[in-house]
Amino acid sequence: MNKKNIASANNNQSWNLLFFAWILATSGTLISLFFSEIVQLPVCVLCWYQRIALYPLVIMLPLALFPFDVKIIRYASPLVLLGWFVALFHVLVVAGLIPEGVQPCVQGIPCSETHFTLLGFLNIPVMSLLTFSLIALLLFLSKKQCTQNTY
C-alpha cells in the first residue's frame, strides 16, 4: 500500500470513530429526553450540567463528518471533559462520598437520589459517566488515527 491509500484508510477509520461518538451522543440525548419528558423523572442540577455538555455534541459532531474535519475534536473535547467530571462528581454524590454541605442540589430535587436503576447498579449518573467515557475514548482514537496520517 502506498502512503495515499494508508492515509485514506486511516481517515475512514477516524470518520467511523467520530460517527460512533455522534451515535452515542445522540442516544444519550434521546434517552435523557425520554426519561425527563415521557417518564417524567425529575432532573437535578447536576443532570442539567451534564445535558449542557452532551446536547451540543449532537449538532457539532455530524457537522464535522460532512465533509470530514478532525478539528472538531479540539472543540468537542472540552464539552466531553466537562460532562465527564460532572458525571463523576454526580456518581460520587449518589455513592455518598461527597458531604452534603458540598452537594449543589440539596433542596428541591436532590442529586443524591436515584429514580431509575438498571440491572441493580446502572443508575442514570453511572450511565452518563459511561457515555462520556466512551465518547472521550472514541474522540481520542479518532485523533490518533488522523495523526498517523501525517507520519
HSE on the CB side for 140, CA within 13 Å?
Answer: 8
Residues in the chain: 151
Domain boundaries, the chain: 3-149
Looking at the whole model, is its pTM more than 0.85?
yes
C-alpha 147/C-alpha 71 separation (Å) is: 11
For residue 60, the model assigns a pLDDT of: 94
Written as tens digits, the pLDDT of the chain (151 aa) is 555 555 555 578 999 999 999 999 999 999 999 988 998 888 888 999 999 999 999 999 999 998 888 889 999 999 999 999 999 999 999 888 877 777 776 567 777 677 766 777 788 899 999 999 999 999 999 999 887 755 4
For residue 30, the model assigns a pLDDT of: 96
